[in-house]
Chains A and B, each alone.
Chain A
């Protein structure tokens, strides 16, 4: 129990607790996050979807939903970035830095809380998916594997969000910066359309894009339609490439964020 009384783990848990507390107190945030994703589902499932043929056939809605999960998680980095920028602006980060707490705790607590939050959003989206015809066809084990990949990706995105949040002067910039980087990532990908239908110049990007590899991994694991470009490596081994992406990204952004945190306002 002593680990939970004080020390880095206890500190991180307190910060996690603090970040989770705010979720039900600002319900707009979660509601808009879900609504935004559902809007994309409706838009693509019922407006554009009919015009997007899937090579190899299959249900467009089943194809779409894993992409929506990934897109939602990618955009969640904005929530993290805004939250961190807000803490900076309100002087809370300074307060934490003046306490004898573990310095890692502010960031790990934040990222862990954001993953838990994303898990909740994912549940809601999956239920929405079931309503529009998305199905899990490959059994529970593979389903869980996909969920773990999604949450691991959420963790990576949270660290990127932390880094952005610490690097920008205010919450508005945090929001704009994450949107302009995440939007292209989700559009130059296999989220909404089969990658083969993208312009040829964009295809290599779409193939290696972690958003694509994660989406393809989920489609494979859920047993949803998963049209690929061909024999390129990421198309053949989406799960392996996704795991490598996650490791590489966290190895870059976690240290960057930690360094930024240590040097804020120094």
Chain B
């Protein structure tokens, strides 16, 4: 199978401007996305996701390396590339003073679709994105999420074979996000190749066949979400006790179930026990503790989330949210 997107050793250096230093935004990015698959580009703020997308969509010229999209070189054959791609950038780029319908019509015509076909396609997309009623209003009156959806519809107008979506669901409410995922899944099942950047690990998990974690302008890990999770460790049983004073005792009791070192967190009355064997181990653990009269407040099997992967690999926090919040001390 051939690769729809290939990038080799991409380098991008933003020149120093007044008051800012030269930034090496990409420092040798390699990517390959087979036709009909989805690559999730995951990374913290400033990692270089948008820069990568902009190079691949011919908006930015790389300072080093080479990339092809649909077999066309993004620098030498940029017009051929533009014919087969759809792009929805990180920030909705639509004309404020046109209606939703007019925006899509404009993009369709500029995509070289014939007039009658464009009109049909516009109606179709407005319907698909739940904007039929809003289609007659100027964008000025749209909410952020509506703009976002219209922007995405604009990317799809020409039935692109290869689609680039830069944080497509940022700013969408949960329902719109789920709807967007459905749309994206539909496109992919029709054979569209997709490169998607996201900060939502869950989104990459849901949509992407392969995930590339980018940080500081390089790809630091690549693989399916299972492969990435395996890199940061396996499953574990987590137990929260009602009585913190019996933590040590409980930990000793669970020793036989564990396949690694048991962790104790005094403050949260929690025991984390690396395990293998799925939910059976949870039942066994509950049984042992119950037999010894240790009251269990919460017990669960945890598999590493992509969040763990993200945080471990990038060594930073994915979100500012204080994880202590889950203790729920709110009065």
Q: How far is the CA of A265 from the CA of B54 in the complex (A)?
A: 10
Count how many chain A residues have C-beta atoms less than 8 Å from C-beta atoms of the other chain. 25
Report B-chain residues with C-beta under 8 Å of the C-beta of A116: none
Q: Kindly specify which of B28-36, B83-91, B172-180 makes contact with the partner chain.
A: B83-91
Identify which of A11, A92, A100, A265 contacts B94 (C-beta below 8 A): A92
Find out whether the CB atom of A25 lies under 8 angstroms from the CB atom of B97.
yes
User: Is B307 positioned at the interface, with any CB of A under 8 Å from its CB?
Assistant: no
Find out whether the CB atom of B89 lies under 8 angstroms from the CB atom of A97.
no
Report B-chain residues with C-beta under 8 Å of the C-beta of A25: 97, 138
- With most chain B CB atoms within 10 A of its CB, the pick from A5, A18, A21, A95 is A95
Report B-chain residues with C-beta under 8 Å of the C-beta of A97: 58-59
User: Is B222 positioned at the interface, with any CB of A under 8 Å from its CB?
Assistant: no
Report B-chain residues with C-beta under 8 Å of the C-beta of A92: 93-95
Find out whether the CB atom of A18 lies under 8 angstroms from the CB atom of B115.
no
Which residues of chain B have a CB within 8 Å of any CB of chain A? Answer: 54, 57-61, 79, 82-83, 85, 87, 89, 91-98, 102, 106-107, 109-112, 114-115, 138, 154
Given A5-B115, A11-B110, A91-B91, the answer on whether A98 and B82 have CB atoms closer than 8 Å is yes
Q: How far is the CA of A91 from the CA of B103 in the complex (A)?
A: 14
User: Is A249 positioned at the interface, with any CB of B under 8 Å from its CB?
Assistant: no
Identify which of A5, A21, A94, A101 contacts B98 (C-beta below 8 A): A21
Identify which of A5, A99, A265 contacts B110 (C-beta below 8 A): A99
Considering only residues 210-266 of chain A, those with a C-beta below 8 Å from chain B are: 265-266
Give 1 or 0 for each of A75-116: 1 = CB within 8 Å of chain B CB.
Answer: 000000000000000111011111111000100000000000
Find out whether the CB atom of A14 lies under 8 angstroms from the CB atom of B109.
yes
Find out whether the CB atom of B83 lies under 8 angstroms from the CB atom of A91.
no
Identify which of B59, B60, B93 contacts A90 (C-beta below 8 A): B93
Given A5-B115, A11-B110, A266-B60, the answer on whether A21 and B102 have CB atoms closer than 8 Å is yes
| Closest Cβ–Cβ distance, residue A200 to chain B (whole Å) | 40
